[in-house]
Amino acid sequence: VREGHTVLEIGTGPGYNAALLSHRLGDTAVTSVDLDPEITESARAHLAAAGYRPTVVTGDGARGCPRRAPYDRIIATCTLPSVPPAWPEQCSPGARILAPLATGLVSLDVHATAHGPRAEGHFLHTPAYF
């Protein structure tokens, strides 16, 4: 991630990654989504105790968070069977999606086309255990 980027994190967990992203980019640039309301409530408390206030949303990460889009980066911290179609639609042109799929860690670049966003990339030679 670079200064000025907006990031959508899928899988909030305890809020550690959201804290790192908020420290680097500022709270307003970070959105984190998790399905479990207990996890998001706990993460908000952890983040506030550390002095960070990114947007933490309880919801289905497969749907992303369209109300805060577009994003320059979407980073998933949970293993997925595939990249949900909603994610490229919520990306800025030139955005990148990083997600651990069941078959390995994938990095996708998102490009605007006449038919909508297109994500293409490759599997990284890095183990991914989430």
Of 64, 70, 69, 66, which is closest to residue 99 (Cα–Cα)?
64
Q: What is the pTM of this model?
A: 0.89
Q: Of 84, 100, 64, which Cα lies nearest the Cα of 55? A: 64
Within 13 Å, how many C-alpha atoms sit on residue 129's CB side? 1
SS3 state of residue 52: coil
Domain boundaries, the chain: 7-123
* Chain segment 3-39, per-residue pLDDT in tens: 999 999 999 999 999 999 999 999 999 999 999 999 9
What architecture is domain 7-123? 3-Layer(aba) Sandwich (3.40)
